[in-house]
Amino acid sequence: MDRAELDAQSVFYEKQSFRQWWIWLILLGVDGIFVVGAILQLFMGRQFGDNPMPDFVLILVCGVILFSSFLFYSIHLETRICWDGIYVRFFPFHFKYKIFYWDTIKKCYVREYAPVKEYGGWGIRNSLNGRKKAYNISGNQGIQLEFTDGKNLLIGTQKVDEVINTLKYLKRWKA
């Protein structure tokens, strides 16, 4: 299904990104330290640290750190609720949507959860037994899917009321 067809079929759409200020404070702080260090060492001839890296290693480390921050900035979770199922994409780890068809879902409801306690944090998370999985960016609310094969998936959401209304409208609210 192409983007236009998916847009036309979507009843609900949400896009979430990592935008917590404290994460960006840490990332930009580390970026800043290495960029300033690289400028000092490469352009001003002053050593960066007590035991400076060779210039090419410093350039490489700077590039990796800046690329990592860019990659982190590009991460987003897209959720679409459609007539045929729920589509989820955790970009850039999933280039295509993962589709969970309604006939494979035994229960579907919104619940509060403890991200660190239940899943070990945010992101693409798996439980140790492989029966529970989560796609989440922030917060503690999610769409809980319980599948007919016994597996579970939690999809984080910031639009709780809208999700509940959409699932009820589609007659897919199964608690």
pLDDT computed for residue 157 by the predictor: 96
For residue range 14-63, what is the model confidence (pLDDT) as tens digits? 999 877 778 889 888 999 998 998 888 888 888 877 878 888 888 999 99
**Residue 131 above 90 pLDDT?**
no
Tally the C-alpha atoms within 13 A of residue 34's C-alpha that lie toward its C-beta.
20
For residue range 133-163, what is the model confidence (pLDDT) as tens digits? 999 998 899 999 999 999 999 999 999 999 9
Report residue 101's pLDDT band, with 50, 70 and 90 as the boundaries: very high
pLDDT computed for residue 172 by the predictor: 83
Does the model's pTM come out above 0.95? no
pLDDT computed for residue 47 by the predictor: 82
Mean pLDDT across the chain: 88
| Nearest CA among 163, 175, 174, 173 for reference residue 11 | 163
